[in-house]
Amino acid sequence: MRRRPAGDVWPDDEMSAETGLPLEGVRILDLSRVLAGPLAAQVLGDLGADVIKIEQPLGDPVRAMAPPAIGDTATYYVSVNRNRRSVIADLTTPAGRDLVKQLASSSDAVVENFLPSQARALGITAIREALPEIVWVTVAPAAAGGPLDDEPAFDLLAQARSGLMGVSGTDASGPMKTGAPVADVVTGLYAAIGLLAALLEQRTTPGTPGRRIEAPLLESAVTILINQTAGLLGAGAVPRLLGNDHPSIVPYAPYRTSDRDLVLAVGTEPQWRRLLEAIGAPELASDPRFVRNANRVVHRDELRVALEAVLAERGCDEWISILGSFGVPCAPVNDLQSALDQPQIAGGDLLTEVMLADGSTTGMVLTPLRVDGVRPGVRRRPPMLGEHTKEIMAAMEGQQ
C-alpha cells in the first residue's frame, strides 16, 4: 500500500505471502491489548495483512482472563489473536521503545489502545509524532478532549455509560448488559474501517500523510443505539425497558409455544396478515387494537396474550414449519451450542479446528467475510507470548 521506506527492517511473514487475499503486503503493528484493538488487527490479518503484535514482558492481560482455558491458554486470548506474530518489547526501556519505533516506521499502520497518559509515559506519543507518514489508529476509552478521555474503560462500563444497558432488560430485571461484549466488538470494527479508509486514501493519493484515526469506546457504544437515539433526538421518544420486545414493531419478539420460545419478526402488514392466516386466528385482523402496527405497539401486552394462547397448541419446530410455508419470518431461540449445531453453521465453513502451541486443538470461529467465495482461514495460530521475538530481532539485525 505504502512505498517501503529507506531502512526498512520489517521481516516479511512467509505465511502471509502469496495468499491472494486483498490485504497481502500490508503491514500492521498491533500495540493493543484485550479485545477491541486486537479484534481490529485480527480483521485485517484475516484479510491478508502481516500483523506483528507487541506485548509487554507480562503479556496481553487477556492471556490470563480465564476460565475458560485450553490448557494454559485463555480462550478469550485465542478468540482475537490469530494471524499474527508476537514480539516482546518493554516500553519502559529505551531499547523497547526503539524496537517499537523501528517496526512502526516500516509498517503501513499502527493500532494501539493506551490511555493518553500511558502513551505519553511509555513514549508511544513521541513515536507517533515522529512518524507522520504512518496511519495511526487509537482505540480510546472516549473521544480526545472530553472529561473521560483518560479514564480506564471496559465493555461493561461503555454499555452502562452509553445508555445501552438502559434499554436492555425489563422492569422486573432492571437494566442489563448484553451477553456479548458488543461495545468492544463494534469499536474494533470501527477501528478497522477507519484504518482501511486511511490506507485507501494513501494508495489513491500518493504523498498523503498518515491519518490519525480515533475509535472511542464510549462513542462507538452510543452508535449501537442507532434507532433509539433517532427516536429520542427526533421525536422525544424516551426509550423504556422492553426486554426482548422491539420499540417500534409488534409482533417482533420471542413468544411461548408448547415447548420453547419462538421468535416472530413480523415487520410489514402483509406479513401480519399471513401470520394470522398461518396460525388460524383471522379474528385478530379486525380487532381495533391490532389493525395496524401502531396500534399493536400500544397494545403489545394484549397481543402477546392472544398470540401465545394459539401458539401454545403446538411446539416451536412445528410452528416454524407452518409459518415458513406462509412466508412469515420466524426463528427458534437457540443456546450457543444449538446455534453452532444448526445446519447453516455446522454444514458451512465458518468453524474450523486449530492446533495450539501445546499441541491441543480447539474449535475457532473464522471471519464472516468471504473473498471471491472463499472464507479466509488461519495462517497462524494465536502465538505464545514473545514466540517470534528472537527470529524477528535476528532478521532486523541482519537487514541493518
Q: Is the domain of 324 the same as that of 361?
A: no
Residue 242 lies in a domain: no
Rounded Cα distance between 366 and 300, Å, is: 39
Rounded Cα distance between 299 and 297, Å, is: 6
Rounded Cα distance between 153 and 263, Å, is: 34
Residue 203 lies in a domain: yes
- 16 touches 377 (CB < 8 A): no
Residue 307 lies in a domain: yes
- 45 touches 349 (CB < 8 A): no
Domain residues for 385? Answer: 14-224+352-399
Residue 310 lies in a domain: yes
Q: Is the domain of 220 the same as that of 312?
A: no
Q: Is the domain of 132 the same as that of 266?
A: no
Residue 398 pLDDT: 80
- Three-state DSSP class for 44? helix
Residue 318 pLDDT: 98
Dihedral sign computed on CA atoms, order 150, 154, 157, 158: positive
Q: Is the domain of 166 the same as that of 216?
A: yes
Cell of 69: 482455558
Residue 316 lies in a domain: yes
CATH number at residue 119: 3.40.50.10540
Q: Is the domain of 130 the same as that of 103?
A: yes
Residue 8 lies in a domain: no
Q: Is the domain of 167 the same as that of 82?
A: yes
CATH number at residue 334: 3.30.1540.10
Rounded Cα distance between 65 and 60, Å, is: 10
Residue 230 lies in a domain: no
What is the domain count for the chain? Answer: 2
Q: Is the domain of 37 the same as that of 138?
A: yes
Residue 1 pLDDT: 44
Give the active site residues.
184
pTM of whole model > 0.85? yes
Residue 399 pLDDT: 75
Backbone φ, ψ for residue 144 (5° rounding): -60, 140
Residue 397 pLDDT: 87
Residue 5 lies in a domain: no
Q: Is the domain of 94 the same as that of 67?
A: yes
Q: Is the domain of 112 the same as that of 208?
A: yes
Residue 160 pLDDT: 97
Q: What is the pLDDT along the chain (400 residues), one digit of tens a residue?
A: 445 665 799 999 999 999 999 999 999 999 999 999 999 999 999 999 999 999 999 999 999 999 999 988 899 999 999 999 999 999 999 999 999 999 999 999 999 999 999 999 999 999 999 999 999 999 999 999 999 999 999 999 999 999 999 999 999 999 999 999 999 999 999 999 999 999 999 999 999 999 999 999 999 999 999 999 999 999 999 999 999 999 999 999 999 999 999 999 999 999 999 999 999 999 999 999 999 999 999 999 999 999 999 999 999 999 999 999 999 999 999 999 999 999 999 999 999 999 999 999 999 999 999 999 999 999 999 999 999 999 999 999 887 6
Q: Rounding to the nearest 10 degrees, give the CA dihedral for residues 41, 212, 124, 188.
A: -30
**Of 341, 366, 390, which residue is a domain's last?**
341
Q: Is the domain of 42 the same as that of 169?
A: yes
The strand order across the sheet containing 50-55 reads 85-88, 50-55, 27-30, 109-112, 135-140, 212-216
- Residue type for 395, please? A
Q: Is the domain of 216 the same as that of 358?
A: yes
